[in-house]
Amino acid sequence: MAAIKQLAAVTRSGIGKGASRSVRREGRVPGVVYGGGEKPEPISVDFKDLHKLIYSGHFLTTIFELDVEGRKQRVLPRDYQLDVVSDTPLHVDFFRLKAGSRVRIAVPVHVVNREASPGLKKGGAVNLVLHSVDLLAPAEAIPESITIDLTGLDFHDSVHISDLVLPEGCKPADMRTNYTVVTVVPPTVFTEEAPVAAAATTAAAPGAPAAGATPGAAAPAGAPGAAAPAKGAAAPAKGAAPAPAKK
């Protein structure tokens, strides 16, 4: 069963934005207690106390004994509002817990015996598909967490909602779907791609013979690497006959 914590509160008469701002200026946070067959009751709690409780974790799954000016009642936080800039609490809602009633609550999931899992011994990892499970639980016996034993789980082995050992009086809130809660996955293997041949992607260097060219063959005119005519050489006259070959 979840631990019960103490929290003091006082009633507040005013409602609305103006009254809420006035409460915050006094260092308190406005809130409301509802449910349990009774009418909603406006309250306020100490800002520092609420801020610490919210940021210590598991606030929405913790049962509180709320002391409203000497009147004690068990409540469960249902929602809270934070400032969008400073992330400080602006408002909080509590739900009354009456004996014999049932509440829907998200219960955190914890795993144990990692060292007894063959899959983890071989380098696998735990994939926590659901970090919490929605349960219908008795108001006076809300579980603090759900524990899953990893003993014997190998690669691709999974634990579903139907496999969970739930506390007495608790059952899944959604009975229609057998959700996967935890699975053991093998290690990820990365395969290195073969390098592409450099000749297929790299352009030929300037002056190098083209592929398939005969060694020693003269480069065509205007081609990269072709020899330039000698400086000062006279160009043949227009219409002149070619010079006779030397014997």
3-state SS track over the chain: CCCEEEEEEEECCCCCHHHHHHHHHCCEEEEEEEECCEEEEEEEEEHHHHHHHHHCCCHHHCEEEEEECCEEEEEEEEEEEECCCCCCEEEEEEEECCCCCEEEEEEEEEEECHHHCHHHHCCCEEEECCCEEEEEEECCCCCCCEEEECCCCCCCCEEEHHHCCCCCCCEECCCCCCCEEEEEECCCCCCCCCCCCHHHHCCCCCCCCCCCCCCCCCCCCCCCCCCCCCCCCCCCCCCCCCCCCCC
**Tell me: the pLDDT tens digits for 97-124?**
988 888 999 999 999 999 999 999 999 9
Residue 36 has pLDDT above 60, yes or no: yes
Residues 210-240, buried b or exposed e (16+ Cβ, 10 A)? eeeeeeeeeeeeeeeeeeeeeeeeeeeeeee
pLDDT at 223: 47
Residue 247 has pLDDT above 50, yes or no: no
pLDDT at 189: 73
| Residue ranges per structural domain of the chain | 4-98, 103-185
Neighbours of 198 (CB within 10 A): 7
pLDDT at 195: 60
pLDDT at 144: 86
**Tell me: the pLDDT tens digits for 205-243?**
555 555 555 555 454 554 454 455 555 555 555 555 555
**Tell me: the pLDDT tens digits for 123-182?**
999 999 999 999 999 988 888 899 999 999 999 999 999 999 998 999 999 999 999 999
CA 144 – CA 57 distance, rounded (Å): 12
Q: Which residue has the higher pLDDT, 198 or 50?
A: 50
**Tell me: the pLDDT tens digits for 48-87?**
999 999 999 889 888 999 999 999 999 999 999 999 999 9
4-98 to CATH, choices 3.40.50.1100, 2.60.40.290, 2.40.240.10, 3.30.200.20: 2.40.240.10
Cβ pair 185, 156 in contact under 8 A:
yes
Say yes or no: do domains 4-98 and 103-185 share a fold: no
CA 184 – CA 128 distance, rounded (Å): 9
Class level of CATH domain 103-185: mainly beta
Instruction: Tell me how far CA of residue 112 lies from CA of 74, 80, 185, 220, 229, in angstroms.
Output: 31, 31, 16, 79, 86
pLDDT at 191: 58
